[in-house]
Structure 1
Amino acid sequence: MDRIDLSLYLVTDRSLLAGKDFLETLEQALLGGVTVVQIREKTSDTAEFLQLAQESKTLCDRYEIPLIINDRIDIALAVNARGVHLGQSDMPIGIARRLMPAGSIIGISCNSLDEVRRARDAGADYIGLGAVWETQTKRLTKPPIGVRGLGVMLEALDGSDIKAVAIGGIKSTNLARLMHGSWSQTNHGLDGVAVVSDIVASPEPKKAAQILKSIFMACKTAVSPFDRSFTSPRSRDEILDNVLNIMSSVRTRSPLVHQITNVVVSNQSANITLAMGASPIMATAPEEMSDLAKLSGALLVNIGTLRAESLEGMSKGGYFANASKTPVILDPVGIGASDFRKSFVNEILNCWQPSVIKGNAGELAVLAGSSEAASRGVDSLGGFQHPVSFVKQLARKERCIILLTGETDYISDGRRVLLLKNGDPMLGQITGSGCMLGSCIAAYCAAANASANEGNHELEGKLTRGGDLLSATVGAVLTLTIASELARKREDVRGIGTFLPALIDEVAALRPETVRRLARVEEVEETLTNAV
């Protein structure tokens, strides 16, 4: 194949023009940065399709942009197009290859891992993966695969020269989420995105294309924890230094922490936030989410209590937090208790990108699709044979920090795994200790994010401003677990009823030097297994 730039792949649909001229819209899109054009005409007769393709080819040639024809090899041959795009029910790739001139580009749409493998073996030049989301431009015969479904398909292309383009419901408002989340665990990402309505239906197609191209390029060059160029704390002592700095920053900055949380523990979560030195706001109304995202330092989404209002609030809250480059902490409480909870978490994770996900073994097993650890309601039954490999792999899959809670806490950013062994058993006997930990993580992430990015305006392509969220998560765990050890030793603590207020008091009184002295943190190395 004569290689082409697939980064911004325009698929045409004249039904979306709303009275605008097709060729004028196409030219504006080309001026805006479209790198390849596919003419898709499902209802036109041959003569009409041929004329449209000829006119489009002339225009694309003027801007040196390759033209692809959807389905119709005869039209592609007639206008000397650069290639064809096929569907699963169209002509086989091998036959199309024999009919098209040497060097022609042949792409095919794929919706499953099996289809990707067949396309790879048949010699496709690129694969269109989707639909990622629901779309109004095409009637879907199969359910959307979602952002998180792309990784395993991309991994199937490892070792080949086949390119991958995502399609289906892609807009400027969700492109950063797509680009951040659509990676395989082997670090195989997308080569481009196919867009229809966000350009064709726009009153300003040139501007729409420019915005999409800008976001795509920024995301492609953004540094993530999985890139070799990413710099993270190099030692246990450096992590603890960062933890103590973040801890102090929480008290000096008093960041506003937005919490959509379990109503059972809302009061405890607010109090633990205040005890750390941060400021809580407990709000669930979806109408507030856009404004609160601009004010808050972090967002905690805890699904412990799912109500009609909170469902929409959680969806919009994470979306607007991503748009504001604000860390989002997801606590999938009791995700295994019902299919409703599982489907809702899957829905929101395809809508927005979390910065940190925390959960016990049962919750994270459900999230990962693993049967190794079970759950009963919010309680975990059992654990993992290889927890180090599990958290590292899940962090790579979800592209965020993963915290596996338990007698030993495991934290990973996908490159390294830290074991934390602090905590008194009584912490697990009170209602909402895990939910309070979520509040601690949100407060620490808010401070880390703010401290690292003062005056930094180079944020395009990122879903958080940055900051050492690995150390922030470590610090949050240490704060609560060390405070639990100190609270348990108090003479006024006689059981779980007196333990809870003592815990909040100890969090408020905790100082950096105490954390450094009592912290039991170690880093472990383990070869990745198929744990997720």
Structure 2
Amino acid sequence: MDVDYSLYLVTDRSLLPGKPYLESLEDTAALPSVTVVQLREKHADTAEFLRIAQETKALTDKYNVPLIINDRVDIACAVKARGVHLGQSDLPIAVARTLLPAGTIIGISCNSVEEVRRARDAGADYVGLGAVWDTQTKTLTNPPVGVRGLGAMLHELDGTNVRAVAIGGIKSSNLARLLRGAVSETNHRLDGVAVVSDIVASLDPGSAARRLRTIFDASKKIDIPTSFASSQEEILDGALALSDAIRKSRPIVHQITNVVVANQSANMTLALGASPIMATAPEEMSDLSKISGALLVNIGTLVNSTLDGMLKGGFFANSFKKPVVLDPVGLGASSFRKGSLHKLLDTWQPTVIKGNAGELAALVNSQEATGRGVDSVGGFMNPAEVVRAMANKERCVIVLSGKTDYVSDGHRVVAIDNGHPLLGAITGSGCMLGSCIAAFCAAANASAIDEQNPSQLTRGGDFLAAAVGGILTLTVASELAAKRDDVHGMGTFLPALIDEVSNLRPEVIRQFAKVTRLE
């Protein structure tokens, strides 16, 4: 039997909410949602484990769901289970093979790339990767690997028949983020997810399983869109159309941003025709996500109190399918920023990541460019390929800001050569660019609603065109502002810049736009 690992249920009788074990399991296994059941009994003696295994095997056979036994090869043999799941300290795979009937599936838990490599070479049929997040159902001996840590582990399985199942803290509220982010650079994805408490502890385990399976099945359709405008002129048309859309719809743009520039970011948002709300309290995030068109998260003046708001803000924005623009300001400046950013990216999916060369280099651990505080030092040899590769890895639009701005969604790459040197001379120009991109993303999102796909983390607008529109608006306005008679330097440039953004119209942007579609 070819096993489908899509929704892999791991039992835990201690979590049952007053419902008998077999009744709860039948409510789940009777449905087509659960594809594998693993019986895990950490505290039962052999006689009790055997009795429960026999009862479980009879029930799973009734519904044609394969049964995997955790740890105990002897119990798996006794009940003729479909497979056994081993830990790193259990019997070696080679020894287990000699004890089990031919064709028995063997899976093993892996917490690192090296453990995956050993499991692959030892002939494992599948690997359990994790824990992805902290979990209450098992005492962890190693720290969680996080969503982004799974990619390198999956890469080790390229070209093999070894299946991969993620485990640890997985539930319906974070499953879409997991499935979107757990992808190797070669597009190797998970074959399934193992779930414990979200099903077992539910008063309605059947509905919980259905909800998880629906999200998993929908995730198979997730990829970077390829149906959007492709030519240079079409991308520009799409970007300029969003400029008008912002002024017509006046979306609310929620910004958790750098306190140094919060005022000018808010004014820039107003100049675009959108409405800013600058709020950081974690308690507000659910309500604000419902009414906002987009969220901007800027880590420029990061502290623990705002980090909690950022975590929840992005989570709820994903839940309500609102785009999230992430600005990793000064990422390479401290380990606190790096650690915090990884927490954010393990919790929610960004729609756009915008940064200078130093910030993006810190994100991918590249030595090509570095940061000095919030400033970038150096650049990439091939920036177009860097943004394309990052977009594919992070599954979002990447914006590399600089003298030439580069934008990619993994398929298309655009270079923009607008802007005036005064723009880089004032405080917060990059932060204001994040505000511009977020406003354009709000307009793009509103124009492309798809409520039928519950796994989508945003509704699927052309966010590359949105990023291009945001960049062009700010950079063309900077050129116009610098030419004004009342601008004599940095101090007079900023208010003139806001004025020019407020007065800027699509036909003027088109006249000055220097946009190149790169192959």
Give TM-score, length-normalised by structure 2. 0.98
**Partner residue in 2 for 1:175:** 175
Q: Mapping of 1:127-526 within 5 angstroms?
A: 127-222=127-222, 224-225=223-224, 230-453=226-449, 456-525=450-519
C-alpha distance in 2, partners of 1:67/1:213?
18
**Partner residue in 2 for 1:71:** 71
What is the DSSP-based 3-state SS (H/G/I as helix, E as strand, rest coil) of the residue aligned with 2:480?
helix
* Identical-pair percentage: 66
Q: Does the 8 Å contact 2:289/2:313 carry over to 1?
A: yes
Q: Does the 8 Å contact 2:119/2:127 carry over to 1?
A: yes
What is the DSSP-based 3-state SS (H/G/I as helix, E as strand, rest coil) of the residue aligned with 2:179?
helix
C-alpha distance in 1, partners of 2:206/2:451?
25
**Partner residue in 2 for 1:528:** none
Q: Give the C-alpha shift of residue 60 in structure 1.
A: 0.2
The one-character-per-residue Cα deviations of 1:20-49 (angstroms, maximum 9, x if unpaired) are 311111111113421100011122111111
C-alpha distance in 1, partners of 2:199/2:499?
55
1:12 maps to a residue whose letter is: T
C-alpha distance in 1, partners of 2:41/2:261?
55
What is the DSSP-based 3-state SS (H/G/I as helix, E as strand, rest coil) of the residue aligned with 1:264?
coil
C-alpha distance in 1, partners of 2:103/2:195?
25
Q: Mapping of 1:104-143 within 5 angstroms?
A: 104-143=104-143
C-alpha distance in 2, partners of 1:88/1:522?
52
Q: Mapping of 1:7-46 within 5 angstroms?
A: 7-32=6-31, 33-46=33-46
The one-character-per-residue Cα deviations of 1:490-518 (angstroms, maximum 9, x if unpaired) are 11110001100111111111111111121
C-alpha distance in 2, partners of 1:72/1:3?
22
C-alpha distance in 2, partners of 1:309/1:133?
21
What is the DSSP-based 3-state SS (H/G/I as helix, E as strand, rest coil) of the residue aligned with 2:108?
strand
Q: Give the C-alpha shift of residue 99 in structure 1.
A: 2.1
C-alpha distance in 2, partners of 1:283/1:319?
15
More moved, 60-69 vs 211-220: 211-220
C-alpha distance in 2, partners of 1:497/1:329?
28
1:505 maps to a residue whose letter is: D
Give unpaired runs (5+ residues) of structure 2.
none
Residue 6, structure 1, aligned to residue 2, structure 2: no
C-alpha distance in 2, partners of 1:393/1:153?
18
What is the DSSP-based 3-state SS (H/G/I as helix, E as strand, rest coil) of the residue aligned with 1:336?
helix
What is the DSSP-based 3-state SS (H/G/I as helix, E as strand, rest coil) of the residue aligned with 2:172?
coil
The one-character-per-residue Cα deviations of 1:390-411 (angstroms, maximum 9, x if unpaired) are 2111111111111111111111
More moved, 90-99 vs 309-318: 90-99
C-alpha distance in 1, partners of 2:420/2:65?
64
What is the DSSP-based 3-state SS (H/G/I as helix, E as strand, rest coil) of the residue aligned with 2:459?
coil
Q: Give the C-alpha shift of residue 349 in structure 1.
A: 0.8
What is the DSSP-based 3-state SS (H/G/I as helix, E as strand, rest coil) of the residue aligned with 2:475?
helix
1:124 maps to a residue whose letter is: A
C-alpha distance in 1, partners of 2:295/2:174?
18
What is the DSSP-based 3-state SS (H/G/I as helix, E as strand, rest coil) of the residue aligned with 1:513?
helix
2:3 maps to a residue whose letter is: I
C-alpha distance in 1, partners of 2:337/2:221?
35
More moved, 47-56 vs 178-187: 178-187
C-alpha distance in 2, partners of 1:42/1:80?
20
What is the DSSP-based 3-state SS (H/G/I as helix, E as strand, rest coil) of the residue aligned with 1:263?
coil
The one-character-per-residue Cα deviations of 1:439-464 (angstroms, maximum 9, x if unpaired) are 000000000110122xx431311000
C-alpha distance in 1, partners of 2:427/2:453?
39
C-alpha distance in 2, partners of 1:71/1:101?
16
C-alpha distance in 1, partners of 2:97/2:416?
57
Q: Does the 8 Å contact 2:252/2:292 carry over to 1?
A: yes
What is the DSSP-based 3-state SS (H/G/I as helix, E as strand, rest coil) of the residue aligned with 2:406?
strand
What is the DSSP-based 3-state SS (H/G/I as helix, E as strand, rest coil) of the residue aligned with 1:452?
coil
1:137 maps to a residue whose letter is: T
Aligned residues: 518
Q: Does the 8 Å contact 2:230/2:412 carry over to 1?
A: no
More moved, 110-119 vs 315-324: 110-119
C-alpha distance in 1, partners of 2:152/2:464?
25
What is the DSSP-based 3-state SS (H/G/I as helix, E as strand, rest coil) of the residue aligned with 1:173?
helix
Q: Give the C-alpha shift of residue 18 in structure 1.
A: 4.2
C-alpha distance in 1, partners of 2:354/2:30?
45
What is the DSSP-based 3-state SS (H/G/I as helix, E as strand, rest coil) of the residue aligned with 1:144?
coil
What is the DSSP-based 3-state SS (H/G/I as helix, E as strand, rest coil) of the residue aligned with 2:485?
coil
More moved, 237-246 vs 457-466: 457-466
2:198 maps to a residue whose letter is: D
Q: Give the C-alpha shift of residue 90 in structure 1.
A: 1.4
What is the DSSP-based 3-state SS (H/G/I as helix, E as strand, rest coil) of the residue aligned with 2:107?
strand
What is the DSSP-based 3-state SS (H/G/I as helix, E as strand, rest coil) of the residue aligned with 2:30?
helix
C-alpha distance in 2, partners of 1:65/1:452?
39
Q: Give the C-alpha shift of residue 524 in structure 1.
A: 2.2
1:239 maps to a residue whose letter is: I
Give TM-score, length-normalised by structure 1. 0.96
C-alpha distance in 2, partners of 1:43/1:363?
48
C-alpha distance in 2, partners of 1:443/1:172?
29
C-alpha distance in 2, partners of 1:193/1:240?
41
